[in-house]
């Protein structure tokens, strides 16, 4: 599968971003599950809606999944919030 680059608003770069230590001297930034789901909904026009819907279904099956937390984060991403809320209403 080819790599696709997406440019997002710089102000949202750190939303949902966590730092993970690979060893004592190397740390990388990764987005948490909630942010990854939101990004899948944000790119639904280019990547297809299935990516976000499947990610959301899998996330909801995880212990500790908090839809309210996901929706709170989604408020920072207006293009994703509505479709994500609709998908949650169907799945819950």
CA 66 to centroid of chain Cα atoms: 13
Return the structure tokens found at 29. Answer: 């930034």
Q: How confident is the model at residue 89 (pLDDT cuts 50, 70, 90)?
A: very high
Q: Reply yes or no on whether the pLDDT at 1 is more than 70.
A: no
* H runs (alpha helix) in the chain: 33-42, 44-47, 49-61, 67-74, 78-91
pTM as predicted: 0.87
Q: What is the mean pLDDT of the chain?
A: 93
Give the count of beta carbons closer than 10 Å to the beta carbon of residue 67.
Answer: 17
Residue at token pair 């608003």: 9
Q: What percent of the chain has pLDDT over 90?
A: 85
Give the DSSP letter of residue 42.
Answer: H
Q: Reply yes or no on whether the pLDDT at 45 is more than 80.
A: yes
Please give the average per-residue pLDDT across 69-78, as a whole number: 96
SS3 call for 3: coil
Q: How confident is the model at residue 3 (pLDDT cuts 50, 70, 90)?
A: confident
Q: Tell me the CA end-to-end span of the chain in Å, nearest whole number.
A: 32
């Amino acid at each position: 599968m080819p790599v696709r680059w997406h440019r997002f608003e710089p102000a949202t770069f750190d939303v949902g971003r966590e730092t993970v230590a690979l060893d004592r001297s190397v740390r990388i930034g990764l987005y948490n599950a909630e942010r990854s789901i939101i990004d899948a909904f944000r790119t639904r026009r280019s990547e297809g809606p299935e990516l976000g819907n499947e990610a959301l279904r899998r996330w909801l099956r995880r212990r500790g999944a908090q839809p309210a937390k996901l929706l709170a984060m989604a408020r920072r991403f207006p293009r994703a919030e509505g479709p994500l809320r609709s998908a949650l209403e169907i799945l819950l």
